[in-house]
Each structure stands twice: as C-alpha cells, then as structure tokens.
Amino acid sequence: MARARTDEAKDERRQALLAAALDEFFEKGFAATRMDDIARRASLSKGALYLYFDSKEAMFQALIESLASPNLEIIEQITEHAASLKEALHGIREFAPFLIRQTDLPRLMKVLVGDSQLFPEIVQTYRQELIERVLSMIADLLQRADETGEAKIENPQLTARLIMAPVIFSALWQAVFNQTSEAEVDLDQLFAIHEQMMLNALQIGTTP
C-alpha cells in the first residue's frame, strides 16, 4: 500500500491502525497481541505501522486519548453548563446509554481489566485521564449543589462514585456478557431508575 501523503490520509491511516489495535486487544488480550497482528488487520505492513506507533503501549495510550477526549468534553458540558444538579443528573442519564452502546470505551475497559497487572502505567494513565477526571467533574457539581442548598451532600467525592457506578458496571457488562440477546439490558430504563433513585436520595425535587 502506498504511503499516506496528506495530513488527512495520515490521520485516516492512524485511525485505521487504532481500530485494528482495539479489535486485536479485545479479541486476544493486550499481552497476546503482536504488532504484526495489528498491521495485518489494518492491511498495512509492519514498517508502515511503526511510522505511527513504536509500541503496543503507545497504541493503547493513543486509544485512551482518542476515546476519552470527546466523551470528557460532553461530560464537562453537562456538569459545567447545567442550570441545576437535577438537570445535570438528567443529562448524565441521557448520555450514559450512548456512551455504552455507541462508543468503544466498554471494549477498552475490558482489555484494561483483563491485562491490568501487565501494564500498571497504562492503568494509571486510564484512571487519571478518564476515571478521575469524570469523578472530579461530578464531585465539583455536587459540591456546588451543596453550597447553593439544592441538595445536602456530605461527601461529594464518594457520592460522585455512586453516580458513576452503574455506568462502569454497565460498560463492563456490555463488553463481557452482552454477546447474546438474553444478556441485553434496557439501559434507558436502567439509568432512568438510577436517576430517580439519586434524586430521591439527595432529596431533589421532592417538594413543589
């Protein structure tokens, strides 16, 4: 295959390599995947692959960045621009099913869990660049709600984890178990129930 010449062609090839890498990591695990496998799946030579990435670790890091960045921006929009905690919780409820069904984050999480002991530095990067940033955004939102009197929240950091817990669980369920129809979960209903439970627990909107 000819070398990509334009910036657009280079970006397309880079994205194709990342997609191939995620497929290989998901199917075989990070440790068992070889750079040859990734290049072959992307219909490129190993030499072409090394023009873009010098290691599997670099590819996984790039996957984290490419998948995390746009979704973090959406969560930031929800938490920063919502007029109230109630509105923000509704925004999270609406975004969560899309995040799980329509993005590759669940598959990335499955790879991470499967081989986490083999690359602790990448696990730390994932935690810092995605999980902790999301938790921090939601904790800040909860802190503001407590300060304005919209809700009484004694520990915003731990409450943020309760809000995100079903998202993490559902993402792992999607990646690991949701291979047959009987394992499918009604995510819209699940997160609607979770939203109402959080509203009740935080005593939001319980009085006229």
48: number of Cβ within 10 Å: 17
| Token output for 3 | 């070398």
| Token output for 157 | 């950091």
Distances (CA, A) of 168 to 137, 148, 174, 196: 16, 29, 10, 18
Per-residue confidence (pLDDT) for residue 24, from 0 to 100:
95
Per-residue confidence (pLDDT) for residue 118, from 0 to 100:
80
Q: What is the Cα–Cα distance from 126 to 61, expressed in whole angstroms? A: 8
132 phi, psi to nearest 5 deg? -70, -35
Per-residue confidence (pLDDT) for residue 4, from 0 to 100:
57
3-state class (DSSP) for residue 153: coil
Tens digits of pLDDT across the chain (208 residues): 445 567 788 888 999 999 999 999 999 999 899 999 999 999 998 898 999 999 998 999 899 888 888 899 999 999 999 999 999 999 999 999 999 999 999 999 899 888 878 888 888 888 888 899 999 999 999 999 999 999 999 999 999 999 999 999 999 999 888 766 667 899 999 999 999 999 999 988 554 3
pTM score above 0.95: no
Q: What is the Cα–Cα distance from 123 to 60, expressed in whole angstroms? A: 10
Domains defined along the chain, listed by start: 1-54 (1.10.10.60), 55-202 (1.10.357.10)
160 phi, psi to nearest 5 deg? -60, -40
